[in-house]
Chains A and B, each alone.
Chain A
Amino acid sequence: MSFSANTSAGGLTARQVWRGVALLAAALIAWMVLGIWPGWLDNLLDGKKAFVSAILNGVTLAGLYFLVASGFTLVFGLMRNVNLAHGSLYLLGAYIGYDVANWTGNWFLGILAGTLALGVTGALLQIVVFQRLAGDELRQTLVTIGISIVLADVMLAIWGGKTDQFSIPDWLDGAVVTPIITAVKANGQIVTLRYPLYRLVVLGAAVVIGVGLWLGLNKTKIGMMIRAGVDDRAMLAVTGINVRLLFVGVFAIGGMLAGFSGVIGGSALSVAPGEDVRYLLASLVVVIVGGMGSITGAAIGALLIGLAEQIGLVYFPTYGVVLTFVIMVVTLAVRPQGVMGNARTRNADPPRNVSPGDIRHAALSPASAVLGVALVLLPLVASPFLVFQLGAQSLILGLIALSLMVLAGYGGMVSLAQLTVAGLSGYLVAILGANSTGILGFGWPWQIYIPAAILISGIVAALIGAIAVRTAGIYTIMITLAVATAFFYLAQQNYSLFNGHSGFRGVAPPNVFGVEWGHQIPFYYLTLGVAALAYCGVVYAARSTFGRALMATRDNPRRMRAIGYNVTHVRIAAYFFAGLIAGTAGVLYVWFNGRISPGTISVSEAIGILVIAVIGGLRHPIGPFLGAALYVLLKTFAIDVVGADRFNTLIGGIFLAIVFTSPDGILGLWRRLSPKLAGNSLRQQAASLTAQRRP
C-alpha cells in the first residue's frame, strides 16, 4: 500500500539512482578505453597503459578468485562448514590436472580430471568425515584444518617442492589486440593495448560459471532446496527431502569448483606448494567481504580483492596486502555480515551447549607441583642441549598456546592470530632492541624495549579482537586466520619495517644481574620462570570476577548483556590479556631462535599453535604445555621414525585423531582412561556419573 509512496517520496527512486550510477560508470569506462588521457592523469597513474593493465589484471584475477571462493561459500552457505581445506583441494586439483594433461597431452582432459577427481574427493569428505560431525561447527572446522595439514604434506611428498608450469593449447596462448587505446604516436598512428588471451578466457569462464551457479540456485528445484536449507536445515529435513544426499551433492560441487579453478588458476600462474594457503586466504577474504554463503557476494568480494591486489601491486608494492586487509577491516566495521551477507547468520550468538563434564575449576593440584619440581630438576639429568632445545622450546610454544587456550577455553573464541601477536613482539624486540642485521635496531635499553614489546602486542591483540568480535562463533577462526596470513605476507613483502624475506638476525637477551641469559641453562630457567608465572596467573585469574565473567560470556552472551555487561568489552579485554601472554612468549621466542623472519609466523606455524592447544586440551591451562611438549618431542625425534619431511603428516594425523575422539585433548584422554586403567568397573563409573548429575 504505502510502498510506492515510500520510494518516490525522495524525488528519486533507488532504481533511478542506480541507473545514474551505471550510466556514469559506463561513460567512465568508455573514456578509459577510447580516450587519450591528459598529461596530469598520465603522470599521476604512471601512464594509461600501466593503469589499464592493472585494472584488467585485477578483473581477471577476480575471475579466478571468484571461481575458488564460490565453492567455499556454497559449502558454507548450506552446511555451515568452514572448509579450511578448500585451498588444499584447489592445489590437489591443479596437481591432478597437471599430471593428466602431461600424460595425455591434452589440456582439456587435465581440466576434466582435476574437476571430477575433486568432486569425488569433496563427496567422500562429506560422507566419511563431516557427516559424523554434523552440527558441531568448531570440530568440523578443526577437522578441515587437520586435513589441510596432512594434504599439504602428502602433496609435497608426491609432487615435490618445485614449481610446475602447465602448457596450455597454442591457440589460447599469446596476446590479443584489445580496443583499448594507450597512446597516439607522433605520426598519428594509434597504439592499442595487447593483453594475454588466456587471462580473458579465465574471466569468461568465471562469468559463465557464476551465471550458471546463480541460475542453478535461483531457478531450479534443487537450487530452491539448497536455499531453503541455507535458511533452515531442520525444517528442510522434515519436508521429506533427503538432506544427506543434498549435502553430499553440494560438497561435490564445491570440490569440483575447487578442482576446476585449480587447473585453470594453475595454468594462468603456476602450481607449487604454498599456493593452497594463498588461495585459502583469497577465499576467506572474498567471502568475509562479500558475505558468507552468497554467490553474488563472492563475485563482489572477488572483484574488490582482485582489483585491490593488482592496483596495490602497481602503486604501492610493499604494502599491497595491507590494502586487501583494510578492505576486510572496513567491511567488518561497517557491515559485519559482509556486503551481501545475511544479518541473521552473523548475529547467531547462541548459548553454548554445556555437557556436565565441561566444568573444570583450574586449581594448583599436587600433580602440577610435582611437575614443576621435575622441570626445575630437569637440567640435572638431561644435557644442556636437550634442556634448551626441547625444554625451553616446549615452554615457549606452550606459552603461546596458553594464550590461545585462555581465549578458546575460557572465552570460546578460537583465535589463530596468537602466533602473529607473539611474532609482532619478536619483531619489536629486534627493531627496538638490537640485532646484527644492520637494519633498524634502535638499541633501546632492555628495561624499555621488553615492556614496550609486550604492551604493544597486547594492544594489537586487542585491536585484532575488536575486529574478530564484530562477528561471533566460527567466524573468529576465519577472521583471525585472515589476519595471521595478511601479517605474514606483509612481513614478507615489506622491507622498510620488517626487512622482508630475511627478517632480523642476531637478536639476543641482555646480560642482567651478571647472568648471561642467552646461555642454554639460564635461558631454560628464564622460560620456566615466565611459564610458571603465566600458568599461575591464569589459574588465579580464572576464578577472579573477570575470569568468571569471561566464562559466563562464553556460555551465554545474551544473558550477559541482560545483567549489565558489555559483551564486546569483555571479549576485547580477554584478547588483551591473552595478547600480553603471547607478547611475553614472543620476546622469549625471538631470543630462543636468535632471529625472526616471516617463516617464524607463517600460516602453518600459526596452525601449529592451534594443533598444540587442541592436542593438549583446551579446558585446563596445563593442556597447552603438555601439547607443546608432545609437539616438540615429535618434531625432534620424528626424523628418526618417519623422516623429517613427514612430520606434518604425523602431527596432522594425531591432531585429527584427537579432534575425533577426545574434545579435551590428551588431558581428557588421560582423564577418561585413568579410571579404566585403575581397574574401575563400568558399573562404578556409571554410579559416580549419576552421583555427579544429581544435585
Chain B
Amino acid sequence: MSASRAAERLSNSSGFALELENVGRQFGALVALAGVNLRVAAGERRAVLGSNGAGKTTLFNAVTGDFPPTSGRILFFGEDVTSYPVQERIRRGLRRTYQISQLFGGLSVLDSIFVACRGVSRRRFSLLRPAETDATMAQARSIAHMVHLDEILQTPVAVLSHGQQRQLEIALALSGAPRFILFDEPAAGLSPSERRDLVAILNALPSHIGYIIIEHDLDVALRVSTYVTMMHNGRIFKEGTPQEIEDDEQVQAIYLGSGHG
C-alpha cells in the first residue's frame, strides 16, 4: 500500500502539485465547471480571477472534495485523489481556507490551531492532555505568531474581530505541514492595513509551499502570484503572467469593467 503510494509519488517526475484533467461539476442542470484543465507546479503561486459565478469556489470544492467533481480527474502530487474523501486529501498535504470563515466558535485561538495541527497526526484520537512542552503545541504557537495572533491565544474564537477570524482561517490552513494551499478570497472584508499584513504573510511562506489564491482585489492578487488563470462561465479562458493579464483587453472588458484603465 505505502510502497505503491511511494512509487506513485516517485513517478511524479513532472513536478506538478496539482493537475486537473477535464474536471466538471454539475448541480442538477446547472454546469458550474465545464471541463477545466489546470496544472500548477509544486511551489508555484497562482491567482485565479473571474467574476462572480465563474466557478472559482466550485473549482476549490472539487479539488478538496467538499463537493467532488462529477467528471474528470484530479491528481495531487501525481496521485489520483478524485475519489478520496476530504480528510484523505488533507492528509496528503492539501489545505484550504473558506470564503466565509469556517471556525470553531467554542474553542480558543490556540486550541483551534492545535486541533488543526493534530488533524494530520496519528495522535488525533489521543485521550491524553498535551503537555506544556508538547511539540504540536509549540508548532501551534509559532503558527499563531506567523499570523499575528500570538497576543490572543486564549481568546474564544466567537469573540474575535472579522480581521482576526480571517487570520485564524489562514492559520488553520498553515497547520500540519501543508504542501499546497487553496486560499478562497482571504482578503475579503479586510482593512487596507490588514491587506498589507496578508500580502506579507503570503510572501513570507516557505518556498516549497505552493498555492492557488482566489482574489477579487487585483492589488493583492497580482502581488502574491507569479501566474494568473482567468475563469469565466465555468471555463478557463486565459492564462498568463500578472502583467499580461492586466494588459489584456478581453480581460478588462469581462472582468475589470470597461471603466478600468
Residues of A within 8 A of B104 (CB): 551-552, 555-556, 559
- Interface status of B145 (Cβ within 8 A of chain A): no
Are A695's CB and B124's CB within 8 A? no
- Residue A554 at the B interface, CB < 8 A? yes
Contact between B115 and A548, CB atoms less than 8 A apart:
yes
> Can you name 24 A-B residue pairings with CB atoms under 8 Å?
A351-B103, A356-B159, A358-B106, A358-B158, A544-B128, A545-B125, A546-B124, A548-B107, A549-B118, A549-B125, A551-B106, A552-B112, A554-B106, A556-B103, A556-B105, A559-B104, A562-B66, A562-B96, A562-B102, A564-B119, A566-B87, A569-B125, A695-B152, A695-B159
Q: Mark B69-88, 1 if CB is under 8 A from A, else 0.
A: 00000000000000001110
Asked if residues A356 and B158 are in contact (CB atoms below 8 Å), the reply is yes
Question: How far apart sit A356 and B155, CA to CA, in the bound complex (Å)?
Answer: 10
Residue A353 is within 8 A (CB to CB) of chain B in the complex = yes
Question: Do residues A695 and B123 form an inter-chain contact, with CB atoms below 8 A?
Answer: no
Q: In the complex, which of the residues A351, A352, A549 contacts B124, with contact meaning CB atoms closer than 8 Å?
A: A549
Asked whether B161 is an interface residue with its Cβ less than 8 Å from the other chain, the reply is: yes
Other A-B contacts than A549-B115, A549-B118, 17 sampled, CB-CB below 8 A, are: A351-B105, A354-B156, A358-B105, A545-B114, A548-B114, A549-B124, A551-B106, A552-B111, A552-B115, A554-B106, A559-B98, A559-B104, A562-B90, A562-B95, A564-B176, A567-B87, A695-B164
Q: Is the CB of A564 within 8 A of B90?
A: yes
User: Bound complex: CA of A359 vs CA of B123, how far in Å?
Assistant: 24
> Which of A540, A556, A563 has the most chain B CB within a 10 Å cutoff?
A563
- Tell whether, in the assembled complex, residue B130 and residue A545 are in contact, meaning their CB atoms are under 8 Å apart: yes
Interface residue tally of chain B, by bracket? 35 or more
By a CB distance below 8 angstroms, the chain A residues around B86 are 561-562
A683 at the interface (CB under 8 A from B): no
A400 to chain B, nearest CB (A): 21
| A559 and B103 contacting across the interface, CB-CB below 8 Å | yes
Residue of B nearest to A361 (CB): B108
On chain B, the residues within 8 Å of A356 by CB distance are 156, 158-159
Asked if B127 is at the interface (CB within 8 A of a chain A CB), the reply is yes
Chain A proximity of B98: nearest CB distance (Å):
8
Task: Report chain B residues within 8 Å CB of A555.
Answer: 103-107
Q: Does A637 belong to the interface (CB within 8 Å)?
A: no
Cα distance, A573 to B126, chains bound together (Å): 11
* Interface residue? B223 (CB, 8 A): no
- The interface of chain B, by Cβ under 8 A from chain A, is 64, 66, 85-87, 90-91, 95-96, 98, 102-108, 111-112, 114-116, 118-120, 123-130, 152, 155-161, 164, 172, 175-176
Q: Mark A539-579, 1 if CB is under 8 A from B, else 0.
A: 01101111111011011101111111111011001000000
- Give Cα distance in the complex from A613 to B155, angstroms: 28
Instruction: Indicate which residue in B102, B111, B123, B124 contacts A559 across the interface (CB closer than 8 Å).
Output: B102
State whether the Cβ of A511 lies closer than 8 Å to any Cβ in chain B: no
- Ranked nearest first, the 9 interchain pairs of A and B with the lowest CB-CB distance are A354-B105, A564-B119, A563-B119, A559-B102, A561-B86, A564-B90, A555-B104, A545-B126, A563-B116
Least CB distance from B62 to A in Å reads: 14
A residues with CB within 8 A of B: 351-356, 358-359, 540-541, 543-549, 551-552, 554-556, 558-567, 569-570, 573, 692-695
The answer on a CB contact under 8 Å between A565 and B87 is yes
**B90 lies within 8 A of A563 (CB):** yes
Q: Which residues of B contact A546 (CB under 8 A)?
A: 124-127
Q: Return chain A residues, CB-CB under 8 Å to B120.
A: 563-564
CB distance from A573 to the nearest CB of B (A): 6
Complex CA distance for A546 and B159, rounded to whole angstroms = 24
**Which of B95, B106, B108, B125 has the most C-beta atoms of chain A within 10 angstroms of its own C-beta?**
B106
- Asked if A551 and B107 make an inter-chain contact with CB atoms under 8 angstroms apart, the answer reads yes
**CB neighbours of B175 from chain A (8 A):** 563
B124 neighbours in A (Cβ, 8 Å): 545-546, 549, 564-565
Min CB gap A230→B, angstroms = 17
- Contact indicator A563/B128 (Cβ below 8 Å): no
Decide if A353 touches B105 in the complex (CB within 8 Å). Answer: yes
User: Residue among A570, A692, A695 with the most chain B CB within 10 A?
Assistant: A695
Note all chain A residues with C-beta closer than 8 A to B119: 549, 560, 563-565
**Which residue of A is nearest B90, CB measured?**
A564
| Nearest B-chain residue to A354, judged by Cβ | B105
Contact B105 A545 (CB under 8 A): no
Q: In the complex, which residue of chain A has the Cβ closest to the Cβ of B118?
A: A545
CA distance A547 to B128 in the complex (A): 9
Q: Decide yes or no: A695 and B111 within 8 Å by CB, A541-B127, A564-B124 being known contacts.
A: no
In the bound complex, do residue B158 and residue A695 qualify as a contact, i.e. CB atoms below 8 Å apart? no
Contact yes or no, A352 B96, CB < 8 A: no
Instruction: Give chain A residues whose Cβ lies under 8 Å from the Cβ of B127.
Output: 541, 544-547
Determine if A354 and B90 form an interchain contact, defined as CB atoms under 8 angstroms apart: no
CB-CB under 8 A from B105, the residues of chain A are 351-354, 358, 555-556
Q: Which of A359, A566, A695 contacts B106 (CB 8 A)?
A: A359
Q: Which residues of A contact B176 (CB under 8 A)?
A: 563-564
Of all chain A residues, which has the CB nearest B152? Answer: A695
Bound together, the chains give a CA A355 to CA B156 distance in angstroms of 10
Residues of B within 8 A of A692 (CB): 159
Of listed B66, B156, B157, residue having the most chain A CB within 10 A: B156
A566-B164 Cα distance, complex, nearest whole Å: 27
Q: Give min CB distance, B229 to chain A, whole Å.
A: 22
| A558 to B115 alpha-carbon distance, docked (Å) | 14
Please measure, in the bound complex, the distance between the C-alpha atom of A98 and the C-alpha atom of B185, giving whole angstroms: 65
**Complex: A555 Cα to B172 Cα, angstroms:** 15
| B126 in contact with A544 (CB, 8 Å) | yes
User: Which A residue sits closest to B120, measured CB to CB?
Assistant: A564
Q: How far is the CA of A472 from the CA of B87 in the complex (A)?
A: 18
Q: Which among B119, B155, B172, B175 has the highest number of chain A CB atoms within 10 Å?
A: B119
- What is the CA–CA distance of A548 and B120 in the complex, to the nearest angstrom? 15
> What B residues does A544 contact at CB under 8 A?
126-130
